[in-house]
Structure 1
């Protein structure tokens, strides 16, 4: 899976300020809905929040991959954020999160959902890649780094 296939520059945000996990999920929903009119931000927020209530999607090393399946979604959609300040995300390693890749997949895409999540976890397990994303400095640089340097 290529990040280029599911991410757009319009859904890449460096320096996003949020104070909590809930506010982050809300901001993700707004960013996605602003970039793609097929999404309703309130519905998407509720879908992401419902998934997060099942257990934290913080995978460690300051990374979270919030995700959900959605009836609103017709194609796998990703959004990448580098937070201005790390937030508590109840991650597996108890470390605060500053890199977030949210994933929204069509409701019926069960197998694809699992495959893309596994691929993302593998990509974000690379320390060098995470450091490059953290030092990007702008939306454009974050996007370019993500799509050209993903392991």
Structure 2
């Protein structure tokens, strides 16, 4: 599995600032809905339901919200870069500015976990995160995310 199979160019967005996690999920819902032809409110509800189980802010300014949903036939992602980091409630209490959301079919099983592991490994790379933070063009961000050498399994 590679990020290029998960993340479409139209699912990458740069935003100035975010007032809350709820507002971020609304934006992710809109971005994801246009990329997968699902209703944005279904996506937003799925993200909020998952987040209620525990925070998906993984540290170092990165969040990986994710959800399993009916109506999907494969795992896909959406990426948002914020120009102004905000308090996401991350495990390290640091504000978040890089958000990679993953959406998977309800019965995706191991594919969902593989996608989460792939994104997590890649976004733990401080050099990759520095490149993402240095760019504000969605096309460039998509290229940075998808043209890396695939990470080895942990």
TM-score of the superposition, structure 2-length normalised? 0.92
Aligned residues: 150
Report Cα offsets for 1:38-69 as digits up to 9, x if no partner. x1101110000000011100010100000000
Deviation of the 1:92 alpha carbon: 1.0
The farther-off stretch of 109-118 and 61-70 is: 109-118
4+ residue segments displaced more than 6 Å? none
Q: Which runs of 5+ in 2 are unaligned?
A: none
Structure 1 counterpart of 2:93 = 94
The answer to whether the aligner puts 1:19 opposite 2:19 as a matched pair is yes
Structure 1 counterpart of 2:32 = 32
Structure 1 counterpart of 2:135 = 136
Alpha-carbon distance in 2 for matches of 1:96, 1:79 = 19
8 Å Cα contact 1:73/1:105 also seen in 2 = yes
TM-score of the superposition, structure 1-length normalised? 0.94
Q: RMSD over aligned Cα, in angstroms?
A: 1.3
Report Cα offsets for 1:91-110 as digits up to 9, x if no partner. 11110100000000000012
